Amino acid sequence: MKILILGGTKDSTNIIEHVKRNYDSYILTTTTTEYGARLARQSGSDDVIARPLPKDELINIIKREDIDILVDATHPFASHITQTSTSIAKELEMPYIRFERPTTNLEEVDTSHIHYADSFDEAGKLIESEFSEGNVLHFAGANTMEDVLKHVSVDRFYPRILKVESSIEKCEKLGIDPSHIIAMKGAASLEENIELIEKYDAGVMITKESGEVGGVIEKINAANQKDIAVVMIQRPKIDDLDKDDIVSNLDELDIKLQNLF
């Protein structure tokens, strides 16, 4: 089978490894960064495209490469590409799977420090009005900084980003001092999060509800221990996404693949 994976996440590399190990397959993975592309190649993807792709180009690739199935394993907050991929699958009448990591199970977690927001603009306004003490740790990626900084002073803003050129350039464009940039790879441990809170004298942390893979529980527990607020952005809802197309683990993915092929 020939599979196009929309990747760039830990979920997507897990899928690549699993599919290559268990199926006779050719995998083409798309990512938006060279870093994501490198991880996809290391995981076994046969080919990789490392740049954002508009809808028309994705359709052309699917047709040219004679792709059998489209797997969307992008981040839960990459709502635009999920909307686009569902549209493409319907237009081409091709099999489609959305791999969506489960929401974070907070039943055993103290949630008293969490304040929810529906957007980063809303998060910035909330911090401006409610959390004026201490610095702001932004654990939500480089692409979301600008909306927060409409309301929060850049002087108290400390983003944790991937150390890649595009993210560094975004920081420079927004006037973020290099000493404020926290360049890290992968999800941070509880101890690392506590260390960052202490080092940067943080009074509030911004994070996405990105699931346990994204280290959300470790962030919350660190904030609880240091008695600081967590502003959590809730996942966007995709109206056109059919719940029957969604899988949330590799066993469910196997059932879909075996039914299709």
Q: For 48-99, how does the pLDDT look when each residue is reduced to its tens digit (9 = 90+)?
A: 999 989 999 999 999 999 999 999 999 877 788 999 999 999 999 999 999 9
Answer whether residue 14 is part of any domain.
yes
Residue range 168-197, pLDDT digits in tens: 999 999 999 999 999 887 778 999 999 999
d(CA 121, CA 148): 5
Residue 109 lies in a domain: no
Q: How many domains does the chain have?
A: 2
Domain-embedded: residue 107: no
71 lies in which domain range? Answer: 2-102+237-260
Residues 247 and 222 in one domain: no
Q: What is the DSSP string of 139-198?
A: ES-GGGHHHHHTTS-GGGEEEEE-SSHHHHHHHHHTT--GGG-EE--SPPPHHHHHHHHH
Residues 141 and 129 in one domain: yes
Report yes or no on 227 lying in a domain: yes
Same domain, 124 and 219: yes
207 falls within a domain: yes
pTM of the model: 0.70
Mean pLDDT of the chain: 92
CATH number at residue 53: 3.40.50.720
Whether residues 94 and 124 share a domain: the answer is no
